Chains A and B, each alone.
Chain A
Amino acid sequence: MIRYSTASAVALVASLSAASAETTIEWWHAMGGELGAKLEEIVQGFNDSQDEYRVNPSYKGTYPETMTAAIAAFRANQQPTIVQVFEVGTGTMMAAEGAIVPVHQLMEEHGQGFDKSAFLPQVVGYYTDPEGNMLSMPFNSSTPIVYYNKSVFEKAGLDPEQPPKTWAELEQFSKQIKDSGAASCGFTTQWISWIQTENLSAWHNQPIGTMENGFGGLDARLSLNGPVQVKHWENLKRWSDEGIFKYGGPVGGDNAAPMFYSQECAMIMGSSASRAGVIANAKDFDLGYGMLPYYDDVEGAPQNSIIGGATLWVLSGKSDEEYAAAAAFFDYLSSPEVQADWASFSGYLPITEAAREQMADFYAQNPGADTGINQITLNEPTENSKGLRFGNYVQIRGIIDEEFEQLMSGSKDAQGALDSVVERGDDLLEQFQAQSQ
Chain B
Amino acid sequence: MAGAAPDARPRAHFHDPKPRYPMKRTIFNNQLLPWLLLAPQLIITFVFFLWPAAQAVRQSFLREDAFGTRTTFVGLDNFIRLWNSPEYLNSLQVTAVFAISVTALSMGVSLLLAIAVDRMIRSTRAYTTLLVWPYAVAPAVAGILWWFIFNPTIGIMPYVLGQLGYDWNHISNKGDAMTLVVIASAWKQISYNFLFFLAGLQAIPASLREAAAIDGAGPVRRFFDITFPLLSPTTFFLLVVNIVYAMFDTFAVIDATTEGGPAQATNILVYKVYFDGFVGQNLGSSAAQSVVLMVLVAALTVIQFRYVEKKVAY
A148 within 8 Å of B (CB atoms):
no
* Closest chain B residue, CB of each to CB of A258: B153
* B159-175 Cβ-contact flags toward A at 8 Å (1 or 0): 00000000000011110
Q: Which of A96-104, A164-172, A298-306, A375-383 contacts B (4 or more CB under 8 A)?
A: A96-104
Once the chains bind, are A92 and B263 in contact (CB under 8 Å)? no
Partner of A68, one of B65, B81, B281: B281
B168 nearest CB across to chain A (Å): 13
Residues of B within 8 A of A405 (CB): 172, 261-263
Contact status of A97 and B262, CB under 8 A, knowing A255-B151, A394-B279, A435-B63: no
B123 within 8 Å of A (CB atoms):
no
Once the chains bind, are A68 and B278 in contact (CB under 8 Å)? yes
A273 nearest CB across to chain B (Å): 22
B264 within 8 Å of A (CB atoms):
yes
* A398-412 Cβ-contact flags toward B at 8 Å (1 or 0): 100111011011000
Once the chains bind, are A255 and B171 in contact (CB under 8 Å)? yes
How far apart are the CA atoms of A250 and B65 in the complex, in Å?
27
Partner of B173, one of A394, A401, A409, A436: A409
Most buried by A among B87, B154, B262: B262
Partner of A95, one of B65, B174, B259: B65
* B67-86 Cβ-contact flags toward A at 8 Å (1 or 0): 11110100000000100000
Once the chains bind, are A435 and B72 in contact (CB under 8 Å)? yes
Contact status of A264 and B153, CB under 8 A, knowing A409-B174, A435-B64: yes
Contact status of A436 and B153, CB under 8 A, knowing A392-B280, A402-B261, A405-B172: no
* Closest chain A residue, CB of each to CB of B151: A255
* Closest chain B residue, CB of each to CB of A247: B172
Once the chains bind, are B261 and A401 in contact (CB under 8 Å)? yes
Once the chains bind, are B282 and A74 in contact (CB under 8 Å)? no
Once the chains bind, are B172 and A408 in contact (CB under 8 Å)? yes
Residues of A within 8 A of B173 (CB): 409
A157 nearest CB across to chain B (Å): 26
In the complex, which range does the number of interface residues on chain A fall in?
A: 35 or more
B74 nearest CB across to chain A (Å): 9
* A220-250 Cβ-contact flags toward B at 8 Å (1 or 0): 0000000000000000000000000001111
How far apart are the CA atoms of A262 and B153 in the complex, in Å?
9
* B270-290 Cβ-contact flags toward A at 8 Å (1 or 0): 000001101111101000000
Most buried by A among B66, B154, B173, B282: B66
Residues of A within 8 A of B279 (CB): 64, 68, 394-395, 398
Once the chains bind, are B153 and A402 in contact (CB under 8 Å)? no
Residues of B within 8 A of A75 (CB): 67-68
Once the chains bind, are B154 and A258 in contact (CB under 8 Å)? yes
Contact status of A395 and B69, CB under 8 A, knowing A258-B154, A405-B261, A409-B262: no
How far apart are the CA atoms of A138 and B151 in the complex, in Å?
35
* A162-196 Cβ-contact flags toward B at 8 Å (1 or 0): 00000000000000000000000000000000000
* Closest chain B residue, CB of each to CB of A68: B278
B152 within 8 Å of A (CB atoms):
yes
A124 within 8 Å of B (CB atoms):
no
Residues of A within 8 A of B67 (CB): 71, 74-75, 96, 98-99
A419 nearest CB across to chain B (Å): 14
Once the chains bind, are A402 and B282 in contact (CB under 8 Å)? no
How far apart are the CA atoms of A356 and B152 in the complex, in Å?
41
Residues of A within 8 A of B65 (CB): 92, 95-96, 435-436
A78 within 8 Å of B (CB atoms):
no
A259 within 8 Å of B (CB atoms):
yes
Residues of B within 8 A of A408 (CB): 172, 262
Scan residues 25-84 of chain B and give those whose CB is less than 8 A from a CB of chain A: 63-70, 72, 81
Scan residues 180-224 of chain B and give those whose CB is less than 8 A from a CB of chain A: none
* Closest chain A residue, CB of each to CB of B63: A435
Residues of B within 8 A of A280 (CB): none
Once the chains bind, are B278 and A92 in contact (CB under 8 Å)? no
* A246-275 Cβ-contact flags toward B at 8 Å (1 or 0): 011111000100110010100000000000
Once the chains bind, are B152 and A250 in contact (CB under 8 Å)? no
Binding site for B on A (CB under 8 A): 64, 67-68, 71, 74-75, 92, 95-99, 247-251, 255, 258-259, 262, 264, 392, 394-395, 398, 401-403, 405-406, 408-409, 424, 428, 431, 434-437
Binding site for A on B (CB under 8 A): 63-70, 72, 81, 87, 151-154, 171-174, 259, 261-264, 275-276, 278-282, 284
Closest 7 CB pairs of A and B: A405-B262, A99-B67, A395-B280, A405-B263, A96-B67, A98-B69, A402-B263
18 A-B residue pairings within 8 Å (CB atoms): A96-B65, A98-B69, A249-B261, A250-B262, A255-B151, A255-B153, A255-B171, A258-B154, A392-B281, A395-B282, A402-B261, A405-B262, A405-B263, A428-B282, A434-B63, A434-B72, A435-B63, A435-B64
